[in-house]
Structure 1
Amino acid sequence: MTTAAVGLPNDPTFTVELNQWHTPEPVGPVPDRAHTQGLYRIALACEDVNAAHAGLARDPSFGCGDPVWIPLPGTPLGGLTVMFLRDPDGVVVELVERPRSALAARG
């Protein structure tokens, strides 16, 4: 198994750990129904989606789309900037622009 962990330097209570299993070898077709795939989509808050895109777009293996403004009429946010990409296993990753200051108020 290969493991990669990402944490926040100012918050040791938060870590995202990604595991890639090398054994056992896969058997049969890859399941395509959401309830049989395990993780198939994840959304992560991102301080600056355009800056993340600039870095990720250099590597075509991420298959990232361009950042898009999604209007959310009638909400206090007004809208969000988002970007979608796929990890090497095909998991859809959504980066949502939300400054840490906007998330810190949550309890």
Structure 2
Amino acid sequence: MTVLSADHVGFTVSDLDRAVAWYEHLLGAAPLHVERRYDHAYTGEMIGYAGAELSWAYFALPGGGHLELIEYARPAPLPGVPETRAIGNGHLCLLVEDIHAEYERLAPVATFRAPAPVRITAGANEGGWAVYLRDPDGITIELIQRRAAD
């Protein structure tokens, strides 16, 4: 198998309208596409839920790739464990130019895991900054600012 590139990352959300508004604020752009009450037979077959009915939104991610947000109507959605350390939990990491400015911009709408961006003191990103935050469903987003070029 030859993998050509990553195409998208997807998150299941409890309320698509709320999630779209939140991610528009985070990304600074509207979704490329929103579809309501989608029930094409191939989708249910592909995801393993015959008769699935869902709504979804698709955002372009800066630098390439896409973010897909999905709200299930059928089958009924299940509650998740949005704890970062939960097995199977993933996160989306966004590279930012000024993490301190982004922290201030997002503070009114996001729950941060630290009281300020954290200085990275070891490893490949030493000298940079990072912080985790959560969206309204508890999905983890990481912001990272690379160290300044020497």
Unpaired runs of 5+ in structure 1?
Answer: 103-107
Letter in 2 for 1:2: W
| C-alpha contact (below 8 Å) 1:81/1:97 kept by paired residues | yes
Would you say 1:84 and 2:132 are equivalent positions? yes
TM-score (norm 2): 0.47
Would you say 1:5 and 2:53 are equivalent positions? no
Q: CA RMSD in A?
A: 2.9
In structure 2, the partner of 1:34 is 87
Would you say 1:55 and 2:105 are equivalent positions? yes
In structure 1, the partner of 2:96 is 46
| C-alpha contact (below 8 Å) 2:127/2:146 kept by paired residues | no
| C-alpha contact (below 8 Å) 1:72/1:80 kept by paired residues | no
**Whole-Å separation in 1 of the counterparts to 2:120 and 2:77:** 38
Q: Compute the displacement of 1:31 (Å).
A: 5.4
Q: Compute the displacement of 1:84 (Å).
A: 0.9
Q: Compute the displacement of 1:96 (Å).
A: 0.7
Which one has a larger percent strand, Structure 1 or Structure 2? 1
TM-score (norm 1): 0.63
**Whole-Å separation in 1 of the counterparts to 2:131 and 2:118:** 6
| C-alpha contact (below 8 Å) 1:67/1:83 kept by paired residues | yes
**Whole-Å separation in 1 of the counterparts to 2:80 and 2:108:** 28
